[in-house]
């Protein structure tokens, strides 16, 4: 289960928006939104569709914190899973957050605890597994993990700049303990 991450709209053409996801460009559909957002607004995305608009001003003023939207997304998933499985409450939620995902675990915990009141996850504990950044070098063909800094500019094994980062940007709900 992937989390809905707020992404910034860079361009809009008809009902398709180009968004920025951690520096990568992606096209998504705006068909499900009741009103067309503006360039610069943020949208929450699910399966290639924008499902909610967060206007630029509220993000820039800090009114909507990045981690708060992620916490809300986690709570949405908890509600949905609970409904599907007919449970009454969620005791614990385990998420995997990549080191380079741009999320501060402390802020996420804080936001989650503040927002969980009056939801099925009211008494739930949020457990965060931080995934280190890792990748594969195209030159020496070795897999590597990056300790410390979340960003690297060369393969730590051979120094080549021809490498791909394969892990460390994920943001998933891994497991949920329900009753």
Footprint on this chain of Zn ion (rule: CB under 5 A): 137, 139-140, 155, 157-158, 160
Within 10 angstroms of residue 34's Cβ, the number of other Cβ atoms is 5
- When the beta carbons of 102 and 156 are compared against Zn ion, the nearer one is 156
State the Cα angle at 6 between 98 and 74, rounded to 5°.
65
- When the beta carbons of 24 and 164 are compared against Zn ion, the nearer one is 164
Give the shortest CB-154-to-Zn ion separation in angstroms: 8
Give the shortest CB-53-to-Zn ion separation in angstroms: 42
Residues 6+ away with beta carbon under 8 Å from 59:
6, 42, 66
- When the beta carbons of 27 and 162 are compared against Zn ion, the nearer one is 162
Surface-to-core class of residue 179, CB atoms within 10 Å of its CB (0-12 exposed, 13-18 middle, 19+ buried): exposed
- When the beta carbons of 128 and 157 are compared against Zn ion, the nearer one is 157
């Amino acid at each position: 289960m992937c989390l809905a991450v707020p992404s910034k709209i860079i361009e809009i053409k008809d009902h398709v928006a180009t968004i920025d996801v951690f520096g990568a460009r992606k096209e998504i559909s705006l068909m499900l939104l009741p009103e067309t957002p503006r360039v610069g607004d943020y949208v929450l995305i699910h399966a290639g569709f924008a499902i909610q608009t967060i206007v630029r001003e509220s993000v820039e003023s800090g009114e909507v914190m990045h981690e708060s939207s992620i916490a809300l997304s986690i709570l949405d998933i908890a509600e949905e899973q609970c409904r599907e499985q007919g449970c009454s409450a969620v005791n614990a939620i385990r998420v995997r957050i990549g080191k380079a995902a741009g999320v501060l675990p402390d802020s996420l915990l804080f936001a989650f605890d503040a927002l969980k009141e009056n939801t099925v996850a009211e008494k739930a504990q949020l457990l965060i597994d931080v995934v280190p950044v890792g990748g594969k070098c195209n030159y020496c063909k070795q897999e590597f993990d990056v300790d410390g800094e979340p960003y690297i500019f060369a393969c730590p094994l051979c120094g080549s700049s021809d490498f791909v980062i394969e892990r460390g940007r994920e943001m998933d709900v891994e497991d949920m303990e329900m009753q």
